[in-house]
Amino acid sequence: MAAAIAVRDAQRGDATALVALWRELTTAGAGRLPGVPTVAAVEVAVGKHLTDPWGRLVVGELDGQVHAMAYLRRATVSPLHEDTTLTIEYLHVSDAARRHGLGKAMIAEAVAWAEHEGCPHLAVVAPAIAREANRFLARLGLGQAGVLRFANTHTVARRLAAEHAPNLLALLSSRRSVIGQRRAQLARPALADSVSYPPEPGSAGR
């Protein structure tokens, strides 16, 4: 008898299962990802995703047990285009539930949502070393479009400093100053002389 498969939006009660899936994901070769979160932190995160119109955290069930997860995110395909794309991130099926069609069901859920939202493009982020997963995605027509690299911000800044590039370090310092000024301008209330007021009653035409 075939196993029963279901895909749905994650709920707060799935937090423990999501923590276990994230632990598998980070120990399966994706070591640069953030560490394993606490159950309490996941419960808070799941609550936010439930009200996000641009993203969904979905889980896949096999015989009523959560064995898969994926984050579906809608965004414009580039800063120069109006078309939207749906990106599947952190797609993972537990080792105990492989080869039952759960991965296909997760992709099918993403395709259904993309069609419903009018997204003409679909993308999937997959670890480069996950050969089986990448072969599966290639069979579905998904080709490689780039390489995603991940690191701690402080690590990159430290490595840049180690390159002994004074011009580059000066540029970084300058950009921090500009970003700080821009943040201050956005937070500053509008000046009084930039506000126009309607004429006082009876003053029109004077």
What is the CATH T-level fold of the domain 5-145, as seen in this structure? Aminopeptidase (3.40.630)
What confidence score (pLDDT) does residue 165 get? 60
Average pLDDT in the chain: 84
- Higher pLDDT: 12 or 194? It is 12
- Confidence bin at 169 (pLDDT 50/70/90): low
Taking a C-beta distance cutoff of 8 angstroms, is the pair 93, 106 a contact? yes
Task: Look at residue 8 and tell me whether its pLDDT is greater than 80.
Answer: yes
Mean pLDDT of 151-161: 84
Q: Is the pLDDT of residue 195 over 60?
A: no
pLDDT per position as a tens digit, 71-84: 999 999 999 999 99
pLDDT in the model for residue 163: 72
- Looking at per-residue pLDDT, the higher value among 94 and 28 belongs to 94
Q: Does pLDDT of 190 surpass 70?
A: no
Domain ranges of the chain: 5-145, 154-188
Model-level pTM? 0.77
Structure tokens at 11: 């709920």
Higher pLDDT, 40 or 203: 40
Query: Do residues 88 and 110 touch, judged by C-beta distance below 8 A?
Result: yes
The alpha helices in the chain, defined as continuous H runs, are: 15-27, 39-49, 102-117, 131-139, 153-162, 166-187
